[in-house]
A and B are shown apart, each in its own frame.
Chain A
Amino acid sequence: MNDMTPVKATTPKDWETDQEVRWCPGCGDYAILKAVQRTMPEIGATPENTVFISGIGCSSRFPYYMETYGFHTIHGRAPAVATGVKLANPDLDVWIITGDGDALSIGGNHTMHLLRRNLDCQIMLFNNEIYGLTKGQYSPTSRIGTNSPSTPYGSVDRPATPCAFALGSGARFVARGFDISKNLPEVLKAAHAHRGAAFIEIFQNCIVYNKDVFEEFATPKGAEGHQLWVRNGEPMLFGSDKSGGTKGIALDSVALTLKVVDVVEGDWQGAGVLVHDVTNRSLAHMLVEMPFGEFPMALGVLYDDPRPTFNDVVIAQNESASAGKTADLGKLLAKGQTWTVEDGHPET
Chain B
Amino acid sequence: MATAFKNDTSDTHVPVQSDAVVVRFAGDSGDGMQLTGGQFTLSSALAGNDFATFPDFPAEIRAPIGTLFGVSAFQINFGSSAIDTAGDQPDVLIAMNPAALKTNVGSLREGGLIIADTGEFNQRNLDKAKYTSNPFEDGSLAKWQVLAFDISALTLEAVKPFGMGNKDALRCKNMWTLGLALWMFDRDRQPIINWLNAKFAKNQVLADANIAALNAGHAYGETAELAGPLKQYHVDAAPAPAGLYRTVTGAESISYGLVAGAQLAGLKMFFGGYPITPASAILHHLSRLKEYGITTFQAEDEIAAICSAIGASYAGQLGVTSSSGPGIALKGEAMGLAIMTELPLVIVNSQRGGPSTGLPTKTEQSDLYQAVYGRNGDAPMPVIAARSPVDCFDCAVEAVRIAVEYMTPVMLLTDGYIANAAEPWMVPDLEEYKPFPVEFLESVPEGGFKPYARDHKLKRPWVKPGTPGLLHRIGGIEKEVDTGHINYGPANHQAMTDIRSSKVNNVADSIPDQIVEQGAAGAKLAVVGWGSTYGPIKQAVRRKRAEGMDVAHVHIRHIWPMPKNMAELLKSFDRMIVPEMNTGQLKTILRDQFLVDARPVNKVSGQPFTIAEIEAAIESALG
A interface with B by C-beta (< 8 Å): 17, 19, 47-49, 51, 53, 56, 63-64, 67-74, 77, 79-89, 91-92, 109-110, 112-113, 314, 317-318, 321-322, 325-327, 329-330, 332-334, 336-348
Contacts and interface: CB of A to CB of B under 8 A. Distances in A.
Nearest to A62: B473
Nearest to A65: B473
B246 A338 contact: yes
Contacts of B259: 329
Contact of B316 (A72, A74, A88): A88
B86 interface: no
A321 B290 contact: yes
A81 B308 contact: yes
Nearest to A314: B295
B315 to A, nearest CB: 4
Nearest to A343: B242
Contacts of A344: 239-243
Given A19-B486, A332-B256, 7 more contacts: A56-B476, A73-B476, A88-B295, A109-B300, A110-B303, A317-B290, A337-B46
B472 A69 contact: yes
Contacts of A72: 473-477
Contacts of A109: 300-301, 304
A87 B312 contact: yes
A82 B428 CA distance: 37
Contacts of B291: 321-322, 325-327
A3 B259 CA distance: 32
Interface string B258-283: 01100100001010100000000000
Contacts of A67: 471
B297 A68 contact: no
Given A74-B334, A337-B46, A322 B290 contact: yes
B468 A48 contact: yes
A333 B428 contact: yes
B475 A327 contact: no
Given A74-B337, A110-B300, A333 B476 contact: no
Contact of A85 (B42, B314, B472): B314
Contact of B311 (A68, A81, A91): A81
A346 B45 CA distance: 17
Contacts of B245: 338-341
A325 B427 CA distance: 21
A79 to B, nearest CB: 8
A157 B469 CA distance: 48
Nearest to B486: A64
A48 B465 contact: yes
Contact of A327 (B82, B293, B301, B486): B293
Contacts of B308: 80-81, 83-84, 87
B122 interface: no
A104 to B, nearest CB: 15
Interface size class of B (residues with CB under 8 A): 35 or more
Nearest to A81: B311
A81 B310 contact: yes
Contact of B45 (A63, A70, A113, A339): A339
Contact of A49 (B263, B295, B466): B466
B311 A83 contact: yes
B473 A63 contact: yes
A110 B330 CA distance: 14
B244 interface: yes
A165 B542 CA distance: 64
A38 B464 CA distance: 25
B48 A341 contact: yes
A337 B246 contact: yes
Contact of A83 (B240, B241, B246, B297): B297
B461 interface: no
A336 to B, nearest CB: 6
A130 to B, nearest CB: 21
A49 B470 CA distance: 11
Nearest to A77: B307
Interface centre among A17, A63, A67, A87 (most CB of B within 10 A): A87
Contacts of A322: 290-291
Q: Is the interface of B mostly helix, strand, loop or mixed?
A: mixed
Contacts of B589: none
B317 interface: yes
Contacts of A19: 485-486
A48 B317 CA distance: 18
13 contacts: A19-B485, A47-B471, A68-B471, A77-B307, A80-B299, A110-B304, A330-B429, A330-B430, A332-B289, A333-B256, A344-B239, A347-B50, A347-B238
B466 A71 contact: no
Given A329-B260, A345-B239, A77 B304 contact: yes
B246 A63 contact: no
B243 A318 contact: no
A219 B373 CA distance: 51
Interface string B413-446: 0000000000000111110000000000000000
B51 to A, nearest CB: 12
A77 to B, nearest CB: 4
A-B pairs, 7 with minimum CB distance: A84-B311, A72-B475, A80-B307, A70-B473, A84-B308, A88-B315, A69-B465
Contacts of B467: 48
Contact of A87 (B256, B270, B475): B270
A339 B466 contact: no
B270 A84 contact: yes
B189 to A, nearest CB: 14
B251 to A, nearest CB: 15
B319 interface: yes
B81 interface: yes
B358 interface: no
Contacts of A321: 290-291
A325 B259 CA distance: 15
Contacts of B333: 74
Contacts of A339: 45-46, 48, 244-246
A311 to B, nearest CB: 10
Nearest to A48: B468
A82 B311 contact: yes
B297 A85 contact: no
Contacts of B468: 48
Contacts of A346: 239-241
Interface string B308-345: 11111111110100000000000001101100010000
B430 A84 contact: no
A57 to B, nearest CB: 13
Contact of A77 (B246, B303, B341): B303
A113 B314 CA distance: 21
Contacts of B341: 71
B64 interface: no
A88 B42 contact: no
Contacts of B512: none
A42 to B, nearest CB: 20
B292 interface: yes
A70 B292 CA distance: 29
B466 A342 contact: no
Contacts of B311: 53, 71, 80-86, 88
A327 B292 contact: yes
A63 B341 CA distance: 15
Given A88-B268, A109-B300, A336 B474 contact: no
B545 to A, nearest CB: 14
A68 B469 CA distance: 10
Nearest to A67: B471
A225 to B, nearest CB: 42
A51 B272 CA distance: 20
A321 B333 CA distance: 34
B308 to A, nearest CB: 4
A19 B472 CA distance: 11
Nearest to B247: A337
Nearest to B305: A80
A223 B361 CA distance: 62
A79 B240 CA distance: 51
Contacts of B430: 329-330
Contacts of B464: 89
